[in-house]
Structure 1
Amino acid sequence: MKVHFVVHESFEAPGAYETWVRERGFEAGHSRVHDHEPLPRSIDDIDLLVVMGGPQSPSTTREECPHFDAAAECALIARCVDGGKAVVGVCLGAQLLGEALGARCEHSPEREIGKFPIMLTPEGKAPEVIERLITAPGREPETFAARRFVQPPEVLRAHDYGAMNQRLYGFPDRFVEAYADRRGQR
C-alpha cells in the first residue's frame, strides 16, 4: 500500500499515522507544502491519500498563506476520490475533503488545539508533534489561556498518548481493509 501525506505545517505532522504506515510496512510519500514540496501530479502511485491539518481553512488565500493552495488540494482530493483511491482528511484535511466533494465548511467560533483526553507514545514524548504544536509561532502562553478549547502546554505534555494512538490505528486498519476488499485485493 502506498500512502501519500499532504502536510501543511511542520507542527501538524502525520505523527501516529506515519508510525502506523511504518509498522504496517507500507510506503509513504509526502507533500510538505510548508517546505514548498509539490502535490503529486499523478495519483497512480497513491492508494491512500491522507491530508493533514493546519491553521488554514479552505477559504485561506495564497496571499494569506503563500504555500497553501486550497483549490489545488481540493482538485487532488477529487481526482483521488474519482479514481477510487482511499482518502482521509484530518482537521483541515477533512474540511478540504468536504469542499472537494461539494460540501461547505464554516468557521468555528472557537479555536481548537488538543484532544480531550490526549495520550502520547514514548516516541511522541521525545520532541515530536505535540512539542511542535505548542511552540509554533502564534502559540504563546496567553493564546492558550484565552481559549476554552485549547489545552495549556503543561497539560498537553502530561498526557499519555499511547492508548489513544492504539485506538487510532484501528481506524486506518479497517479503512484499508475495506479499500482492499472493494478493489478485490484480499
Structure 2
Amino acid sequence: MRNLKVHYFQHIAGEGFGSCYAYLKAMGAEITATEFFALPLDSQLDIDALPHVDEVDLLMIMGGEMSVNDEANYPWLKIEKRWIRRYLATEKPAIGLCLGGQLIANALGANVSRNPIQEIGWTLINRSQPVLENVFQIPDRMKVMQWHSETFDIPKGAIRLAENHACVNQLYQIGKNVLGFQFHPEITPHSLNIFIDHEEENRVFNNASLQSLNTLRHSQQQDYQMGNMLLNHAIDFVLKIE
C-alpha cells in the first residue's frame, strides 16, 4: 500500500502547514505543496502545472490575506478554483482553513463577502448541529484563533457545524470528506507571530473584534492545543480513520 499523499495550497509565505505537519508525517504521509505566493502576479498559470488529482489523497488549502474574489490581482485564483472543483468531483478528502474554506465554498458556487465584523484573536465558537451520525463532532463550545475580514456562505448541500456572534458560518461539512473552517485550528506560536508582525506592518484590521497584538504575543501553549487537536481529528474524519 502506498504512502498517503498530501498536497497543500499555500497562498502567502507566512501561512504554511501549521500544527498538522507532524501529525501527518507520523502517519508516513508524503507532503508536497503548491506555493501560489511565489508566482509573479501576472503569471498565467496553467491548470496542468498543478498536480493531477489522481496523485493527491488529501488536499489541504491554507489561509491567505487576499480575497477569493480578487482574481484581477491574483489571476491564479481562477485556476486554483477550477482545480479544486475538479478535485472535489472525485469525492476525495479535502480541508480548507480560513481562505481555504472560503475557496472551497466559492469554487462550489457559494458567495464570499465582507463579514460585518473583522475577527482577530482568540474567540469562542459554538456547535451548530446536534450529535448526529456521520457528522464531524466538535465540542459544544471551544476557543479558536480567528484572523479574517471576509466569510463564506454555506455551499449548497453542505451543513453548518459551528458559529458565533460575530460570524455565523465558522465551519461546514460536505458529504463525509470535506470540511471548511473559517478559523485557524492549525495555528502555532510561530505562525501567530508571523500574523502579528504582518498586522503591525500593514494594519489590515481597522473594524475588528480583536484582542491587542501584545496580548496575542503572550498566548499560552494551552491556547493552541484545542484547535490543533481538532484539526488532527478533522484529518482522521475526512480520511475515515477510526
Give the corresponding residue for 2:215. Answer: 155
1:91 aligns with 2:98: yes
Give the structure with the larger strand fraction: 2
Task: Label 1:149 to 1:141 Cα distance change in 2 as closer, same or farther (>3 A).
Answer: farther
Gaps of 5+ in 2: 124-142, 146-186
TM-score with structure 2 length normalisation?
Answer: 0.61
The Cα shift of 1:53 comes to 1.1
1:6 aligns with 2:9: yes
Structural RMSD (CA):
2.8
Identity %: 26
Q: How does 1:157-176 map to 2 (within 5 A)?
A: 157-159=217-219, 160=221, 161-176=224-239
Task: Label 1:169 to 1:57 Cα distance change in 2 as closer, same or farther (>3 A).
Answer: same
Give the corresponding residue for 1:74. Answer: 81
Match of 2:188 among 111, 119, 124: 124
**Higher mean C-alpha deviation, range 90-99 or range 12-21:** 12-21
Match of 1:34 among 32, 37, 47: 37
Q: SS where residue 4 of structure 1 aligns?
A: strand
Q: Deviations 1:116-174 (Å, cap 9, x if unpaired)?
A: 2458xxx933xx211111112xx128948844323322222222213431233111112
Aligned equivalents of 2:144, 2:102: Cα separation in 1: 22
Task: Label 1:13 to 1:77 Cα distance change in 2 as closer, same or farther (>3 A).
Answer: same
Aligned equivalents of 1:100, 1:129: Cα separation in 2: 26
Aligned equivalents of 1:31, 1:142: Cα separation in 2: 25
The aligned length equals 169
Say if 2:118 and 2:205, in contact at 8 Å, map to a contact too: no
The Cα shift of 1:93 comes to 1.1
Give the corresponding residue for 1:184. Answer: none
Q: SS where residue 208 of structure 2 aligns?
A: coil
Structure 1 segments, 4+ long, off by >6 Å, are: none
Aligned equivalents of 1:43, 1:6: Cα separation in 2: 13
Task: Label 1:18 to 1:114 Cα distance change in 2 as closer, same or farther (>3 A).
Answer: farther
Give the structure with the larger helix fraction: 1
1:60 aligns with 2:85: no
Say if 2:6 and 2:32, in contact at 8 Å, map to a contact too: yes
Task: Label 1:145 to 1:56 Cα distance change in 2 as closer, same or farther (>3 A).
Answer: closer
Give the corresponding residue for 2:196. Answer: 134
Q: Deviations 1:26-48 (Å, cap 9, x if unpaired)?
A: 11110111122976241121011
Gaps of 5+ in 1: 182-186
Aligned equivalents of 1:98, 1:145: Cα separation in 2: 23
| Amino acid aligned to 2:113 | E
TM-score with structure 1 length normalisation?
Answer: 0.77
**Higher mean C-alpha deviation, range 34-43 or range 96-105:** 34-43
